[in-house]
Amino acid sequence: MWSGLYVYIIYYSEVNTEVKVEYYTDIEVTYILNIKYILILVIKIWINLIFSFLCDMYKRKEIERNSMADKNNILYLFDRPTEPIFIGKGDDNVSFDVPTEYLIDRYKPLASDIQTRFPGGKTVPITKLNNIPDISIPLGLSRDAPFSLFNPSHSKMAAKLIDILMNTKSYDELLSLSVYCRDRINPYMFTYALSVVIIHRPDTRNLRLPSHSEMFPSLYMDSSVFSRAREESAVVQAGSRTPIEIPHDYSANNLDAEHRISYFREDIGINLHHWHWHLVYPFDGPLNIVNKDRRGELFFYMHQQIIARYNMERLSNNMNRVVRLTNWNEPIAEGYFPKLDNILANRVWPPRPANAVLTNISREVEQITFDIEDLVRWRDRIFNAIHSGFIINTAGQQVRLTENEGINILGNLIEASILSQNPNLYGSLHNNGHNAIAYIHDPDNRFLENYGVMGDSATAMRDPIFYRWHAYIDDIFQEFKSTIPSYSVQNLGFDSVNVQSVEVTATGLPRNEFATFWQQSDTDLSRGLDFLPRGSIFARFTHLQHAPFSYKIVVENNGNQRVGTVRIFMAPKFDERGLPFLFREQRKLFVELDKFSTSSYRQNT
């Protein structure tokens, strides 16, 4: 209590230029000081709370960073896929602390010796699981067998493994089970399944998968590279090794007309794209992974864009557009000799000679048996459904092929994914078309040959026949599109917004001109060279590249500010004869270059 104290508070008004003086008694002072004390206390509390919040946020970020760093450990399972799990992984020789019970039977008696013979750097602890799920289904494929998603039995095995890994309750449990499975499951199947899981699990989806061409480089480049890589890694220390150059023309020469665009088909990047798309959109697996929005439509769109882009490349090389594979009884003129090794199976990838003929497939070991007549029957039923306007589902009900949903229904049915509404009636036209071509060299397994490159999504785009087959598949979708109403102005217009002009600029080039050139890039093979000395060893490949360019789009907006999506397409202007395309033909050749959202401000932007 303050006694006999008067406090003067002076107010100064800049507006009225007056001074006002007030004074308070000791009781009033006590009240004022208590209020001030409370205010100071509240401010201190708020400062402490804010400081505590910032500290907690920083700690959480640190935990997240450390957690993400720890989660990156699972990516070491992709290193040298056929080497045992207990051998160090990566440049840092990271080792997994594998429980003895996790070792395969061959290595269990050697457990103590393994610890001393293969000391690692950083050690990743592995939590031993009390109950290992039943993995007998994925174990149905031997470790040295070729794995193909187009094989229904293989895709079911992979789907089961994906389901098992997705159902683990935590990241630590996922890592532990993955370590247990790695040396037991076919390496190619394991890599595929774990990749799908990492992409789709909330606790791993932000991890960056290593390139598939680094895990299995033999799927993407000339087999002669690897004998030279083994010699280089065995003789030369890491850091002093010379990149191994892949010849520009290693699979054929220009006596084969189709070889003129082999640089496109055999490009590492485009084949990686095809592999990765099927990781994001698998056609078999847990329903919550497969059943994505517009999945069937995107199956159509992605492959249609590839065919359009391929045709642009053909026209640029004075070649005709790709011819659809419509007659399945006549010889296939194009041959293909891939010059690839299948490291898992210790075989070369089988070639397909020119003028090979499709025949019935009877591969009982792989459980693939169908007739070419089955493909014809499925095709006819699909066309009948398109022109009837509906399909028949497994319950015998009609499902309308509407303007909005029809192409999505057809996409899943034609591929065919597990979302097909009647696989018994409409079959598996796309997938078994791949199989018919992949086994054309040995349809009944009498020569014990594996499937050709059309049997794997990582290699299929190398073969000229891929584009003929998918041009035919695309034509089925175009047939459906011809039965639905055309787009209206209301469908495609954007009220009050008009594009005034578009131009492309590139440094050193005239307006609206692109420049492409050959570029050499290096890729590290060390992740996929099992049982060889550690350290990077590079392969150098030549690929098509373009000079940087930018768009300039002038838009007039006569309404309010709006947010819209800009899509930029490119198409060839002239056909094979050098004449301007009619738009009804050109529309199927447009390639989507870019897509982004932007705001259109009032008036001109």
Half-sphere exposure of 216 (CA within 13 A, CB side): 24
Q: Among 83, 84, 80, 86, which residue's Cα sits nearest to residue 99?
A: 86
CA dist., res. 224 & res. 232, Å (int): 13
Strands 244-245 and 538-546, how do they pair?
A: parallel
- And the tokens for 77? 């399972």
CA dist., res. 246 & res. 243, Å (int): 9
Query: How many Cβ atoms are within 10 Å of 426's Cβ, its own excluded?
Result: 21
Torsion of Cα atoms, 424 then 429 then 431 then 433, to 10° = 140
Q: Among 178, 533, 106, 181, which residue's Cα sits nearest to residue 114?
A: 106
Provide the 8-state DSSP code for 516.
E
The residue whose two tokens read 């022109």 is 387
Give the catalytic positions in this structure: 415
CA dist., res. 212 & res. 529, Å (int): 13
CA dist., res. 200 & res. 99, Å (int): 28
3-state secondary structure string, 207-263? Answer: CCCCCHHHHCHHHCCCCHHHHHHHHHHHHCCCCCCCCEECCCCCCCCCCCHHHHHHH
- Give me the amino acid identity at 518: W
Q: Among 393, 395, 397, which residue's Cα sits nearest to residue 419?
A: 393
- Are 466 and 454 within 8 A, CB to CB? yes
- Are 143 and 151 within 8 A, CB to CB? no
3-state secondary structure of 400: strand
